[in-house]
Amino acid sequence: MAAIEFTGKEIYSRVLQAVPDVSENYVLNLINEALIDMGRYTNQIENAKTDLKHNQLWYALDDDEAITVNKLFRCTILNSDGEYIKIPRLSNGEIKQFYNESSTSSNTSWTEV
Amino acid sequence: MAAVSSTYKDPSDTFVWWIEGDRLAIATTEGDGGTNETDKGQLKAVSLGSGNTITDGLIISYYAEPDKLTSITGTIDIDNVLQPALIDYVKSKALMDAAARAKDPGLAQIKMASAQQCMANYKEAVRRYGMKKNDKVGGTRAIAPVDMR
């Protein structure tokens, strides 16, 4: 446990010193704006898992999924020994068959690990 | 939908991934294909038998956006070393808005200068040094010299 676990309240109390008349809701919105800006930089690394499904090529990474992915850098697949093995990225991103899955978001369910 | 066990011995040899827009593609050369173009050896979607899944068969690692703060009493989802930068960002925006509302031009100017200072602090902390501040690698970094013998 760190010396200080910051909550929105601590940020709010600091902001009040500089701008005395701001509301909590206004500061809450500014904190979320700051978090979105911080997400543009490589500060936070997370992992998530999902089921591998038959005949499904596409897995959704939209912002309305349970996870918010900015840049994906590693994929691993479960092998027969129960280990997750890193797989390579296909640089040209092209295969011969076309898979039209119009609703990838409803077919994908991520859980943060 | 039935859960099946993974039969892939070494997925690193037979699987690939790539990104297209906001979708991740997982393709493999293993298993049966529906046509000659998707036979064994050709890349295609995973073939497990109709309706089958491998539970938690895929794990991804990614640079993430911090979780949204839904309540002012909630804990903020970023590393502690970045909290001062967050304070600077919020103060900067609040001071900018306060400067816009100020009726006294002198006061507005002081608030604006203070806002710009806070934003400069934020940019330096996050954009220049953010990754260095919160990485967990310790000790000095060294380059092994070439052996001249």
Q: What is the DSSP string of B1-65?
A: -EE-----S-HHHHEEEEEETTEEEEEES-S--SSGGGSTTS-BS---STTEEEEEEEEEEEEEP
User: What gap in Å lies between CA A55 and CA A42, rounded to an integer?
Assistant: 33
B122 Cβ neighbours under 8 A, 6+ residues apart? A34, B85, B88, B89, B92
Largest CA distance in chain A: 62
ipTM for the predicted complex: 0.81
- pTM comes to 0.75
**Cβ contacts of A7 on chain B, cutoff 8 Å:** 72-76
* Residue A41 identity (one-letter amino acid): Y
B25 min Cα distance to partner chain A (Å): 5
What residue of B is the nearest CA neighbor of A45?
A: B63
Residues of chain A with Cβ-Cβ distance to B25 below 8 Å are 57-59, 90, 93
Smallest Cα–Cα separation from A6: which of A27, A37, A21, A36? A27
Q: Are A57 and B33 in contact (CB under 8 A)?
A: no
Residue B41: which residues within 8 A CB-CB, separation 6 or more? B29
Reduced to 3 states, what is the DSSP secondary structure of residue A77? strand
Cα(A43)–Cα(B64) distance, rounded to whole angstroms? 8
Strand partners, A60: B23
Contacts of A34 in chain B (CB under 8 A): 86, 89-90, 93, 122
B65: nearest CB among A36, A93, A95 = A36
Min Cα distance A23 → chain B (Å) is 10
B123 phi, psi to nearest 5 deg: -60, -40
Question: Which residues 6+ apart lie within 8 Å of B102 measured at CB?
Answer: B108, B111
Q: What is the pLDDT along chain B (149 residues), one digit of tens a residue?
A: 688 888 899 999 999 999 988 899 999 988 776 666 667 778 888 988 888 899 999 999 998 888 889 999 888 888 778 888 899 999 999 999 999 988 999 999 999 999 999 999 998 888 766 655 556 666 666 777 778 77
Q: Which of A81, A94, A97 to mutate to test the interface with B (most CBs of B within 10 A)?
A: A97
Per-residue pLDDT of chain A (113 residues), as tens digits, is 555 667 888 889 888 988 888 899 999 999 999 988 888 776 678 899 999 998 899 999 988 888 888 889 999 999 999 999 999 999 887 888 788 777 777 788 899 88
Q: Do A7 and B86 touch (CB under 8 A)?
A: no
| Helix H or strand E segment including B73 | none
Contact A35 B68 (CB under 8 A): yes
